[in-house]
Structure 1
């Protein structure tokens, strides 16, 4: 899908930052099947594009997203026949694609982030929010169920007790509570939010190595839930054992000693080690 064909989002690249914007402000960026498909295509494009180092995900207008747009009808399957076994619910199509990214994703959240409007951000590396942001895992108040793999992501971010509170009550809560619990990394005034997201993106671009970021990101997601440290250390040992032939490692040390900005040469995805478990299984 070409970015020029998008209707529910926009996609722009500037200064090595891809900005993906939920773009249905009149509907408060209500989440649709088409939006889910376009988000998947946009994250695919950002991951493929060697010029893109960081992705910023945001929403047009005063809200990030109020969740599923119920006025848009049902799901993309026959309601009488039901979905086929391979069907995937729309929010999870986005959250899983973000989970698989080789590049960091910064979610800049202003206003309401409700239901699918918050679950699609849980796999982002950073969630920056405006002071007027509001969050809600409101599924039980609609007689439905959590989606976006949020029952996996949320307890890992805020702990089981807080996840239970938010999901079992379905209550809406503010930015300060989200920040205290660890759902949100940083709070900013609404008119500063996007600038702060780009400031963080530029810092990552200027100071970090793309392959190192890609590997580290997936190490955390894929290995943190291992039953013991032993399988993680096996992967660590292969990675560290290859540093003598890793030009980015050499450059990282030299640039530090010479007190200059680093110029990392390795690129994703082609230079990500093929022996890593999550790469080999593809």
Structure 2
């Protein structure tokens, strides 16, 4: 490990990361508290995801937890004033307050890279909501999940009231969010929130298998398609999607990745895509309000 990488590692007190052949594995590394996350760790997650967004060496992101939990939610050890932003010195008024779960969710939602949650144990509160903008959720059987916010006297965070109904429907979202009850990964699988159930000893291997499926696709096409699926879910008319897709297909169809994709198919070999999301996104991307563009503070060194 070079000196620059060591310096980067020291920034992330609550995380560990490994980049291997385009697959970035981010591990929430606070096993002493079942990976419950405080404000610093939440900001670290947002920052590392922003780095992945900008780094062409990263093709897919896997998120998991150290030890027997994925993430037990917010760290409640500060006591009864845990959620009091004024008491905790995080803000003087509602106008000053930035709820850190929102930027974390947006750092996944607006990302150019697909995300896989490898849920290795309990995922509660923010531990569950941070997975909602991700592309796949693979969980161990029997994992305890909960939208526990109402049982702590607050509402869901991390834009969960937008994401959850889109994934499981309003009825199931209301059941889980309004009751705050604990449910198992099997129920989440039946509802469509969890995509696969996988034994703990095979979880990361399976997550990497799914990640390699993304490696076989064109990075620019993945980034654009990911945004289209999420954004068009709320479009009022199918032609809204067509209005964005048609010029994208026209532009991308004339580029090297499209030619390589067809050539590789005809040659019966894996494609070798060369376009980069950092430089080669379609000219009509993003087509939404550019003010939403990911703007993390601080420098973002590449993964070494």
Higher mean C-alpha deviation, range 71-80 or range 238-247: 71-80
The question of whether the paired residues in 2 share the 8 Å contact of 1:31 and 1:67 is answered with yes
Aligned residues: 281
1:28 is aligned to 34
Matched residue of 2:227: which SS? Answer: helix
Q: Higher relative contact order by CA 8 Å / sep ≥ 6: 1 or 2? A: 2
What RMSD over aligned residues (CA atoms) do the two structures have, in Å? Answer: 1.8
Which of 223, 234, 237 is the equivalent residue of 1:214? 223
For 1:200-255, what per-residue CA distance to the aligned partner results, in whole angstroms no more than 9, with x for missing partners? 112211x2110000000001112220111122111111012224421111111111
Which of 209, 212, 235 is the equivalent residue of 2:244? 235
Structure 1: runs of 5 or more not aligned? none
The question of whether the paired residues in 2 share the 8 Å contact of 1:134 and 1:175 is answered with yes
Distance 2:264 2:93 in 1: 54
1:78 positional shift: 3.1
For 1:118-138, what per-residue CA distance to the aligned partner results, in whole angstroms no more than 9, with x for missing partners? 001100011110113111001
**Is 2:57 the counterpart of 1:51?**
yes
For 1:141-190, what per-residue CA distance to the aligned partner results, in whole angstroms no more than 9, with x for missing partners? 22211111100000000011111111111110111100000000001001
Which of 244, 248, 258 is the equivalent residue of 2:267? 258
Structure 2: runs of 5 or more not aligned? 1-6, 294-304
1:77 positional shift: 4.7
Matched residue of 2:212: which SS? Answer: helix
Distance 2:192 2:70 in 1: 19
Distance 1:86 1:173 in 2: 35
Distance 1:44 1:247 in 2: 27
1:82 positional shift: 3.4
Evaluate the alpha carbon distance shift between residue 6 and residue 244 of structure 1 in structure 2; reply closer, same or farther with a 3 A threshold.
closer
Which of 78, 81, 86 is the equivalent residue of 2:86? 78
1:121 is aligned to 131
Distance 1:243 1:111 in 2: 41
The question of whether the paired residues in 2 share the 8 Å contact of 1:28 and 1:61 is answered with yes
2:166 is aligned to 156
Which of 46, 68, 71 is the equivalent residue of 1:65? 71
Evaluate the alpha carbon distance shift between residue 258 and residue 118 of structure 1 in structure 2; reply closer, same or farther with a 3 A threshold.
same
Distance 2:98 2:86 in 1: 14
Which of 8, 12, 19 is the equivalent residue of 1:13? 19
Distance 1:103 1:274 in 2: 18
Matched residue of 1:13: which SS? Answer: strand
Distance 2:8 2:252 in 1: 38
**Is 2:130 the counterpart of 1:130?**
no
